[in-house]
Amino acid sequence: MIKEILNEINAIERFLKNHKRYLGEEYVKYQTTLNELRLKVKLKEIENNVRDALKLKSDGEYLKARNLLKKSSNDIDKLEDEMINLKIKTFNSQITNLKNQINNELNLIKNLLLGEDSSINAPYNSSSVNSSNPINQSFSGENELLNKLNELLSKYQNPIKIGEGGFSYVFKAIKNGKTVAIKVPKELTETTGEIFLREIGNWKKLKHINIVQLYYSNIYPYPYIEMEYCEKELNKIKNNLELKEAVLLFFEVLNGLKYAHSKGIIHKDLKPHNILIKNNIPKITDWGLSKEITSKSTTINALTLQYSAPEQISRETIDKRTDIYQMGIILYELTTKKLPFNGNEFDIIYSIKNEMPPKPSELNPLIDEKLEYIILKCIQKDKSKRYQSVEELQKDLSEYLNIQLTTNLTASKTNKDFSRSIFYCADLVLFHLLNNDLGDALNYLYDLKYYADKNCSEEIINSVDNLIKAIEYRIEEGIKEPSDEIKIKAKIVVNKVKMRF
């Protein structure tokens, strides 16, 4: 097949060379045909590699099959980029089907390598990479499903694909003048259907400023979730955060997780990719693998291995402490800029089960003994040695942050470095609001107003005054927690004071 296509390419190239000056505008059309044929050759080579990988899998050569599939995945990404650059859409359906098949086969092989009983070692079938095969097809490969998806997206303005996960695609779109995100399953199978319904069921119970808000969901004309759009992803900014900034953000995420746990829901798949940021406020998303605490089902399918807890690897019972372990891995990464466990899958699995990672302070000397203790306690192998609740974790983290920020503020005042004092004072306002300490937040806000009066515009000074009045009112009324509106307003106001607007 490839030889026949190459012969066809050579014939067209000879024709173009001999007749270029006579072809005029037709020359461009022939060049397009030539580009399509070249892409077709590359696609066929990838399909052959996938076919070879399936044969290796059938023979029990799982690692070789996995490596060949990963190579095929990289090759198909490059091919897709070429198609975009050349503005060729001819092979969209085939590429989508092949990408889905590669991802599914990689998951199956991963399960086989991990000893998952639920994995099926399907017999080798040379037709399985054919785009007409209904197995593993996504909506892009089925006209009926594609039409339904288009019908759904037609309800919105300017839908643009902005991301994808193991089971779904995410689009950014506009509805009634408001930017929203739309999540749809990649394919319609029993597994994706179960995950999708579970996600909707649990997500509907969660309404918190640190959890991405679900606006609406339906299964017609195509299953979808309409949700809050967030402009940033922690995974993309994690290496740019300073230590203090990272720990404050982490503390804020814990508020959302604490709320979910109070509703009897554990996430099971916490990682920077699943923490989004809107208006500088972090929000947990992707509740597709979450489950109610009363549920006994557990699986490691679709989890990101490096963030998986030992009990997830060993298929033991999971609970709130599993989420705490995953948050500990995130805190380790945010503060050291490295993941605790690396290497191939077998090395990572062995390390998660049996080894403690390098001490965080060895990777970042700014991490003191208290913060290191907190990080390492989160990621203990034995669940009973971890923090037993988010509240317990936040208590230690609160003490650490309070000491760090007040010490820095005092030092800056002593050194008369008032530009730094503004920053530390602003951070203390936000920290105490996050910690529901309205009285302490108000005291530092009074100090911040003193700095604002000397350095900021009248507009910002008025904003600080309004924030003070809002907090004073809640204290007078005996309300113990700041409203979401106050938290949002506080972030905006204190950041402007920092920038001396």
Please tell me what DSSP assigns to residue 5. H
pLDDT tens for each residue of the chain, 501 residues long: 556 656 666 666 666 566 555 555 565 666 777 777 778 888 888 888 988 888 887 777 878 888 899 898 888 888 887 877 777 777 777 888 788 888 878 877 876 666 543 333 333 333 344 443 322 334 444 567 788 888 899 999 999 988 887 778 899 999 999 999 999 988 788 877 887 888 888 899 999 999 999 999 998 888 999 999 999 999 999 999 999 999 999 999 999 999 999 999 999 999 999 999 998 899 999 887 776 664 444 444 456 889 999 999 888 899 999 999 999 999 999 999 999 998 888 889 999 999 999 999 999 999 999 999 999 999 999 999 999 999 999 999 999 999 999 999 999 989 888 888 888 999 999 999 999 999 999 999 999 999 888 888 898 899 999 999 999 999 999 998 999 999 999 998 988 888 765
Q: Provide CB contacts within 8 A for 334, sequence distance 6+.
A: 238, 241, 246, 247, 249, 250, 272
Which residues in 332-347 are b (16+ Cβ under 10 Å) and which e? bbbbbeeebbeeeeee
Q: Provide CB contacts within 8 A for 354, sequence distance 6+.
A: 381
Which residues in 380-402 are b (16+ Cβ under 10 Å) and which e? beebeebbeebeebbebbbebbb
pLDDT at 182 (0 to 100):
95
pLDDT at 437 (0 to 100):
94
Residue 453 catalytic? no
Cα of 425 vs its chain's centroid, Å: 31
H-type helices in 355-483, by residue range? 360-363, 369-378, 390-414, 418-434, 438-455, 458-476
- Report the distance separating Cα 234 and Cα 281, nearest Å: 11
Domain ranges of the chain: 2-120, 143-228, 232-395, 416-498
- Report the distance separating Cα 255 and Cα 117, nearest Å: 37
Q: What is the CATH number of domain 232-395?
A: 1.10.510.10
What is the identity of the amino acid at 340?
A: P
Question: Is the domain defined by 143-228 classed in CATH 1.10.520.20?
Answer: no
Given the residues 59, 269, 286, 447, select the one marked as catalytic: 269
